[in-house]
Structure 1
Amino acid sequence: MKKIVMLCMLFAFGVQLNLSAAGGEYHLIIEGFDWGPAASKVILPLGETTKSVKTENYDVRVSRKSDQGDIPESMQSGSREVMRAYVSDAEGNPQEVGNHVTLILAVAPYKPMGSPIQYFGRKGNVWIDYTLAIIDSATGTTWNKEGERTIPILDDFDLTGKFTHKDITMSYAAFKPENRTGKAPLLIWLHGGGEGGTDPSIAAIGNKAVNYAGEEVQSIFEGAYVLVPQAPTFWMNSVEGGYTRGKTNDMYNEGLMALIKDYVAKNPEIDPKRIYVGGCSNGGYMSLKLILNHPDYFAAGFISALAYSSEFITDKQISSIKNMPIWFVQSKDDNTTKPEETAVPVYHRLKSAGAKNVHFSYYDHVIDITGQYGGESYYYNGHWSWVYLHANECRLDFDGTPVKVNGMPVNIMQWVSAQKK
């Protein structure tokens, strides 16, 4: 009971410190997860060396604020669960003796206190003012100022890219492979409707597209460039305003294609025969739009939650891309981009036109593929089929048989890597 009372007093004191006095600095680690970015670790300098720490001594409170919109009151502040604490160095590496402690924080799709971004409707996802107040109940030491922030993989991207076409300026994130010899392929990822704006870091990590620069995918391609353009609003923004699903023209495809060509021209190490375009939802629409407009430019497409309505694609257009390798990914319970109006008829029309290298991984639901949050019994929104795509989990075709290259079963990125103009 004494410890509980003391802890409450310390936390009350910690909140006061956070508002009126300087506390110590912490190093925040943010990682990309299937549902978006989350603050998963915090590294605390101790000021002295130690051999052991106790997890139960550390309590973490979070404040989530933004001037971009209203955050629901239940998501503005709360506690973070500390899963484990260990002695470490300044980078969070475990040490037998060290002068830092690293806290592993619980994250999950149903734990909004872990998220450093917030969705604000038409504004999309934005980074928010995300601050921690951490107290060691054994010593009364507090840390309440962010001194450093690390976002693995995203930190390897150049986030300064800008390109202007006519009166439209687009931002983009770009990754260049290291130690690559010879020409390298280019993976282009087009974000969903919630990741537009002028901060391409959101487009790259909002739905875990950073994975294309991760070790697994990079090893498959033996080093690949990754380009993540960002629409100032959303890719399906029609020239008349509002949304288009293909019936009318969008306002960005011309400028986006100019951006891609400009980036390729400025990076002569890119292999023009191995340029791949993919995207989800809004970005799935735009991926197919670029393929329809430029069927000879791309080596393959990988598209999740296609938002392009089949009814607005002519038979002539279908015939023009029947030789383009495309792999669709979607869930049957997608109520946002309904598969029976989008990917399913497009796939069947391509097959009927004679397409030999078009595939479709069609899932019943989008589940927790990590097994950490409920596994097969935990359903994400059915629209989020990009979870399978970014994790490189897609292996089966529409009829449930394995997709193969040269007679060998492959996953989607292995298949993409094998495509060449």
Structure 2
Amino acid sequence: MKKNFLCCLILAVAMLTLAECSSFKIDKSRYYLYTPKDTKNQPLVIVFHGYGEAENAESTMVVSTLTSTESQSKHPCYVLAPHIDDNTFLAESSRRGLYNEVKDISDHLIAEGKVNPSAIYCMGNSFGGLATVEFLEAYPEDIAGAIVMCPALTYSRDSTTNLSKIKDIPIWFAHATNDNVIPVDVSRSAVSTLKAMGSENVSLTEFSDREMLSAGALSGFHQADFAVMADESFMEWLFSQSCTPRP
């Protein structure tokens, strides 16, 4: 009797230890994670902010809109936004390490039954647009759809030479026609290249000065995210996309 009790006790301790070891905690100083009211099998939107916005990752236009009560009532989802310091943005190897960490977090959320693996999306503005493209290139089979806004693709030659890896992912590019930081030709070129590669669900929306100012953007017209989040059709499109997750 004592032997059986001892065996059960050892087993219980072992199981508790294993559970503690397998628990996954997100470093809140490096990642912001919004959790919807319904925590089971929900979409996940990964949001990469722009250069110099590390301290405001959870309050960018994209994140604040996605996590609003109105948006969550229409499109409940988890929102994952890494705080990316400038040095990480400026070093390709550091960016790659970041993408691996983001993928690990996504995998854990899926394993816990919180995230629907068929509904993982990605968005980013400026350097965040570059990060979005590079993240898609790293994990092309895991992303159901993406919105790429005024991407800084000219900063990394690899991002444009590897576009063939993402030709089958639904991608909506958005750019102000008179963006004075990243020329609109960057997005035009990426879209035309993807279409030439056979992409069937890639498009570009260009915003006029009037549309940008109406959405609250500054006169430099580099805040395409303002115009995107002011137009519900982008979110309707994004959340309608799905993919077949890898086994």
TM-score by length of 2: 0.78
- Structure 2 unaligned spans of 5+: 1-24
Q: CA RMSD in A?
A: 2.6
Distance in 2 (CA, whole Å) between partners of 1:359 and 1:351 is: 9
The aligned amino acid for 2:79 is V
Cα distance per residue 1:200-223 (max 9 Å; x no partner): xx11214452111113332332x2
- Which residue of 1 is the match for residue 11 of structure 2? none
- Which residue of 1 is the match for residue 120 of structure 2? 275
Higher share in strand:
1
Correspondent of 1:390 among 215, 229, 233: 229
Distance in 1 (CA, whole Å) between partners of 2:62 and 2:146 is: 18
Kindly indicate whether the alpha-carbon contact (under 8 Å) linking 1:307 and 1:337 is maintained by their aligned counterparts in 2.
Answer: yes
Quote how far apart the aligned CAs of 1:187 are: 0.6
Distance in 1 (CA, whole Å) between partners of 2:105 and 2:38 is: 23
Secondary structure, aligned partner of 2:94: coil
Distance in 1 (CA, whole Å) between partners of 2:81 and 2:156 is: 28
The aligned amino acid for 2:81 is V
Distance in 2 (CA, whole Å) between partners of 1:390 and 1:235 is: 26
- Structure 1 unaligned spans of 5+: 1-159, 164-169, 239-248, 395-410
- Which residue of 1 is the match for residue 165 of structure 2? 320
Secondary structure, aligned partner of 1:178: coil
Secondary structure, aligned partner of 1:252: helix
Distance in 1 (CA, whole Å) between partners of 2:57 and 2:121 is: 17
Quote how far apart the aligned CAs of 1:352 are: 1.3
- Which residue of 2 is the match for residue 299 of structure 1? 144
Give matches, 1:8-407, under 5 Å. 161-162=26-27, 171-179=30-38, 182-196=40-54, 199=55, 202-207=56-61, 209-221=63-75, 223-233=76-86, 235-238=88-91, 249-266=92-109, 267-309=112-154, 312-313=157-158, 317-340=162-185, 342-365=186-209, 367-369=212-214, 380-391=219-230, 393=231
The aligned amino acid for 2:53 is E
Q: Which runs of 4+ in 1 moved over 6 A?
A: none
Larger Rg, first or second structure (1 or 2): 1
Which structure ranks higher in relative contact order (CA pairs < 8 Å, sequence separation ≥ 6)? 2
Cα distance per residue 1:258-288 (max 9 Å; x no partner): 2332244144310111111111111111010
Kindly indicate whether the alpha-carbon contact (under 8 Å) linking 2:212 and 2:227 is maintained by their aligned counterparts in 1.
Answer: no
TM-score by length of 1: 0.47
Distance in 2 (CA, whole Å) between partners of 1:314 and 1:384 is: 21
Quote how far apart the aligned CAs of 1:298 are: 1.0
Cα distance per residue 1:72-108 (max 9 Å; x no partner): xxxxxxxxxxxxxxxxxxxxxxxxxxxxxxxxxxxxx
Aligned residue pairs, count:
216
Quote how far apart the aligned CAs of 1:319 are: 2.3
Distance in 1 (CA, whole Å) between partners of 2:225 and 2:98 is: 25
Percent of pairs with identical residues: 21
